[in-house]
Amino acid sequence: MEKPTASTNPAPPAALGRGAGPDQVTPGQPAPGPSGRDRYLDLLRAIALIRIVAYHTFTAAWLSLVFPSMGVMFALAGSLMARSLERPALAVLKSRTRRLLLPLWVYSATVLLLLFWQGWSPDQEEGRSWPEILFWFVPLGDPPYPDGSDGGPIDSFWAHEAGVILWYIRAYFWFMLLSPLMLAAFRRLPWITLAAPLGLLMPIAAGWVTLPVWAESGVSDFATYGSCWVLGFAHYSGMLRRIPRWIVFSAGPVMMALGLLWAAPHLEEEGWDLNNIWGANGLYALGFCAMLLRVSPSWKSMPRPIRLLDKPVTLINNRAVTIYLWHTLLLSVMYIIVDTLYANNQIGDAIPWLLESEWTLFAGIWLLLAVLFLTIGWIEDVAAKRAPRLWPDT
């Protein structure tokens, strides 16, 4: 399971101004830039979400190398939080919490109703209890869900997939809550704050430090992606733009290469899947994100060659939480649909190539997501205190 595998923020971070040179900004101060959406960052978020859906659909672990979506998502979210925290911190946290929790509550209630209907209860899972059901609605910890084995009272693989992706929601929630403190530390000691999560990650990933079970997932996720989140601060403040491009584009590949070297002796059956190797993932994602955000062309509108992507990118950004939360559950629905069609002899014999293709699953997920956009996607608008829209592609 990817540890995007997998938040998501429909509104983009503030952009650096066009043509701003390294001498025009100082660390810790917002760079000048246009108001409104930065379409380059919107495009990155859309690519990240599409790649997350593809990762869970196709048997292709190497996708984590092509585009480390989770690092990108955390970096973009960090930049957005830095922008938002120009306002009073309490108001920002209240707004961001509402925008995250309302869509989460609808999703969690749906999954739990299906689980209870199938006879599941939290105390069936080893070491879990009924009070922990609250983590489905307030993501301070990992919620209880079936372990995915077929040996239990229900076929729980779908529920395992629907529950395990909430690691990202939990990690994002903690990053959000800690951002006022992290941003204050960044403004005082930018380089130390940027490097600190990786400094924490290395001894954990190497096995030199053993974390208690209750803290393992939270601390490891913070250590893996914390530097990407702080990199978002560096992007918004202008600090990243102050660094000469040749340095970033030399150091970035070096960090990615170090991540691959770390991963090589730790590969599992899935092959080059960095999502399962903390140390490699943290290094690789940080190097990749640093180069992406250093480019940061700050588009007010899509460039002409890719202008046809304008509406799809806008739609994906405005329904980012819906896409992330629901896509694995919809993948399980697609398996049921395909199995049902395959059981029909006439259909199964006529188009076996279509039913056996993973591309059919991938396309089907997006069709089902379109249905969700039209039915419950407006909850994201309500959570953001926007006028509800069925198809927000403009």
Range in 27-36, 57-66, 73-82, 191-200 the model is least confident about:
27-36
Closest to 176 in 3D by CA, of 98, 72, 108, 282: 98
The whole-number average pLDDT for the span 237-255 is 97
pLDDT of residue 267: 87
**pLDDT in the model for residue 296:** 87
- State the total domains in the chain: 1
pLDDT in tens, 258-307: 999 999 998 887 788 998 898 999 999 999 999 999 998 889 999 999 99
Residue 296: which domain range? 22-81+189-307
The model's confidence at residue 155, banded by pLDDT at 50, 70 and 90, is: low
**Is 31 a residue whose pLDDT tops 80?**
no
Residue 29 has a pLDDT of 40
The token duo for 368 is 């089902």
Per-residue pLDDT at 222 exceeds 90: yes
Q: Which comes out higher in pLDDT, residue 30 or 295? A: 295
**The pLDDT of residue 150:** 53
Lowest mean pLDDT among 5-9, 66-70, 197-201, 268-272: 5-9
Give me the count of residues in the chain: 394
Whether pLDDT at 26 is above 50:
no
- Residue 365 pLDDT exceeds 50: yes
Say if residues 226 and 285 touch (Cβ distance below 8 Å): no
115 within some domain:
no
Model confidence pLDDT, tens digit, residues 53-84: 999 999 888 999 999 999 999 999 999 999 99
368 domain residue, yes or no:
no
* Residue among 92, 189, 173, 107 nearest 138 (CA): 173
| Average pLDDT in the chain | 88
| Own/partner pairs, 310-316, CB within 8 angstroms, 24+ separation | 310/39, 311/393, 311/394, 312/46, 312/393, 313/39, 313/42, 313/43, 313/46, 314/42, 314/392, 314/393, 314/394, 315/373, 315/391, 315/392, 315/393, 316/45, 316/46, 316/49, 316/50
Check whether 323 has a pLDDT greater than 70: yes
Q: pLDDT value at position 60?
A: 86
What percent of the chain shows pLDDT beyond 90? Answer: 74
For residue 35, pLDDT over 60 is answered with no
Band the pLDDT of 157: cuts 50, 70, 90.
confident
- Rounded distance, CA 383 to CA 11, Å? 12
Residue 103 has pLDDT above 60, yes or no: yes
CB 111 within 8 A of CB 268: no
Which of the given ranges, 8-22, 29-43, 225-239, has the highest pLDDT on average? 225-239
| Average pLDDT estimate for 330-348 | 92
Residue 139: is its pLDDT beyond 60? yes
Q: What is the pTM of this model?
A: 0.89
Domain for residue 224, yes or no?
yes
Label residue 14 by pLDDT band (50, 70, 90).
very low
Q: What is the pLDDT of residue 215?
A: 83
